[in-house]
């Protein structure tokens, strides 16, 4: 007759304290397009469907990112800041339609870029 031995379990409670505090760098999950004086950087940005792209104004001037085609912006309705984005400010838009979406600076339509949504 075998005698069962009672195994004692050592329960070790591990507290995993996430990644709190610290110096949070600006490496968020968003995709970023920098709006420069005379260009968008990168000029073409590829993102996954559903991604939110942040257009940051670092130009020192007013900017207005909007879908082509100027001036009606009907290529991708909704993709339009609809107002001036001031220097240091930003505009965010969530892309959920696959395709290649050309856009421009509505205040300076020669400045163009594209968002490729996969």
Can you give the binding site for Cu ion, defined by CB under 5 A? 66, 70-71, 106
Q: Which of 54, 48, 65 is nearest to 26 (CA)?
A: 54
Minimum CB separation of residue 83 from Cu ion in Å reads 12
Q: Which is nearer to Cu ion, 74 or 118 (CB)?
A: 74
In angstroms, the CA 25 to CA 16 distance is 21
In angstroms, the CA 102 to CA 33 distance is 13
Q: Which is nearer to Cu ion, 30 or 75 (CB)?
A: 75
Which alpha helices (H) appear in the chain, and where do they start and end?
none
Q: Which is nearer to Cu ion, 99 or 102 (CB)?
A: 102
In angstroms, the CA 32 to CA 7 distance is 55
Minimum CB separation of residue 27 from Cu ion in Å reads 31
Q: Which is nearer to Cu ion, 81 or 117 (CB)?
A: 81
Minimum CB separation of residue 73 from Cu ion in Å reads 6
Minimum CB separation of residue 59 from Cu ion in Å reads 16
First CA to last CA across the chain, in angstroms? 67
């Amino acid at each position: 007759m075998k005698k069962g031995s009672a195994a004692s379990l050592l329960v070790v409670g591990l507290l995993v304290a996430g990644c709190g505090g610290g110096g949070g760098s600006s490496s968020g999950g968003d995709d970023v397009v920098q709006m420069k004086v005379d260009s968008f950087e990168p000029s073409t940005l590829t993102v996954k469907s559903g991604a939110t792209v942040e257009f940051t104004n670092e130009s020192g001037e007013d900017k207005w990112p909007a879908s082509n085609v100027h001036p009606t912006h009907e290529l991708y309705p909704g993709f339009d800041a609809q107002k001036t984005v001031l220097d240091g400010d930003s505009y965010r838009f969530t892309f959920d339609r696959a395709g290649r979406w050309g856009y421009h600076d509505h205040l300076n339509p020669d400045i163009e870029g594209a968002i490729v949504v996969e």
